[in-house]
Amino acid sequence: MAKRKSAANQTAIATQLARFVLISLDGQNDLVGSGTGRIDIRHESQIDLETISPDKDTSYCRVVVRIRLKFSGRREKDESDAVSVEGIYEGRFMVQPDVGIAALDAQAADEQFQYGLAAQVYPLAANHLKDQLQMMGLTTRHIPIGI
């Protein structure tokens, strides 16, 4: 874990992605056997960041990035719902042991720090959700995977 400089010229707290998990996945596909046609895909995302103090199981602070992604599609001809898939993902980052929660909270307020963490988790989540859409029989080449 290397330290880097933030926009405020302070030494940024180094983090390391330790865990990436799928928390929940929900989907529906009303296109099966209906002769698909074109659908209009819409994308929604929500990104939350949380700092966690050391506890009885760990001796270091952690940062958790939760990402909720939803892709939904409506038929172009009649605007009816055709397909929907939503996933909630969590990336858990370890922080060096000598960093306290107060310092971590202060760093977590920095937008560049937040972006740096989210930018590591978001592509993993987006790729997984794109795979789910492909398994539903949809073409996903135009769906972005970056923030």
Beta bridge partners of 81: 74
Instruction: Give per-residue pLDDT as tens, 85-109.
Output: 999 999 999 998 889 999 999 999 9
Ordered by where they begin, the domains of the chain are: 15-135 (3.10.420.10)
Global pTM?
0.82
Instruction: Give per-residue pLDDT as tens, 46-99.
Output: 999 999 998 888 888 999 999 999 988 887 777 777 888 999 999 999 998 889
HEC readout, 23-36: EEEEEEECCCCCCC
d(CA 63, CA 53): 9
**pLDDT of the residue at 93:** 96
